[in-house]
Amino acid sequence: MKQKEEFKWLKEANSQSLQQTLMDLDKAFKAFFKKTSKYPRYKKKSNRQSFRIPQFFNFDDSILYLPKMGKGIKMENHRVFTRDNVKQLTVTKTPTGKYFVSLVVDDRKDVPKKVQITNDPDKTIGIDVGLKDFAVLSNGIKIGNPKYLQRSEKLLKSRQRMLSRKKLGSNNRDKARLMVAKTHERVTNPRNDFIHKVSTAITKRFDTIVIETLNIRGMESNHSLAKSISSASWSRFFGFLKYKSENQGKNVIEIGTFEKSSKTCSVCGHVNKSLTLNQREWECTDCNTLLNRDINAAINVRDLGLKQMGLDPIPSDRGEYKPVENPLTAELAKMRIRAGSTSHGPEKQELYAMRKLKLSTGAGIS
């Protein structure tokens, strides 16, 4: 293609970067024919763009040298590496026009050996994700859903209307597109930060984490909840838990999609077949225990995971679990993770008071 006049511009790019792109296209088509992915789509130039360089790059403290780029490029480091350990470099341009460089580095450290899975309630946790609360833990801690998309939805709609009214190809349209991209970035960056903090706190505190295998794509077919489910980013949260646990030698257990975690009493095992989605609390007809739907589900998730590994469930004779001075609550508070309500109304001052209380006493988040 480089020999043709119409593709002469390909000579301006590093040949290995072009080859990496063809490798990505090959993977995409193979995934499509295996029916594990959709048909590959073209990417707009205004969307997130990236290219990889496997060789012939270099860098020092603040200058990056790339093939066919001429002079070095000034950069700001977030980590310190030696060139010998770097295996690959990826340059990314965001829709807002920011450039980032990520490096694949061989730290030459062995993967930590997995800790032993036990049914110790202080070392094993079950997690039930939701929309009202982002995550509920089996020890009773509830982590509120920040709902970053809903906070910026009004501004996003306004800027998208402005974009739709601009003439195609005009400078004003480019400016309007940039404003929309910046609004999306205001949603994405805080959400990723929130998920990183929550997943870090959980993986540091517990040796074994049990989660559900959710059919999120199928759940998003419910058009009433699709936006909220997508905004919650459960898949990303589970992904962060897995790789951080792997790096620390911790365990992540996944239970089946169709386990009746919400409808089963965690005390006696009775299944409430008539339980509906809007019932947040229910009383077991066999043992008369008043159960919180989400905490009960998290306890069942934990016990199902232990059972899957051939261990006995953790004994439980309690109904409504109220956490008291759990170390994780203080950890979450230090990371400034807002729990409970995320309202911007009269409750805002109360939330700041709760945050100060948690920082000083480590009281339970509920």
SS3 annotation, 332-357: HHHCCCCCCCCCCCCCHHHHHHHHHH
- Beta strands per DSSP E along the chain: 49-53, 58-59, 63-65, 73-74, 86-93, 99-105, 124-129, 133-137, 142-144, 208-212, 251-255, 281-283, 290-292
Q: Please tell me the distance from the alpha carbon of residue 255 to that of residue 249, in angstroms, as a whole number.
A: 20
**Residue from 190, 218, 198 nearest 127 by CA:** 198
**Taking a C-beta distance cutoff of 8 angstroms, is the pair 266, 296 a contact?**
yes
For the annotated catalytic residues, the residue numbers are 128, 212, 294
Place of tokens 């090959």: 26
Give the DSSP letter of residue 271: B
Written as one string, the DSSP assignment of 177-194 is HHHHHHHHHHHHHHHHHH
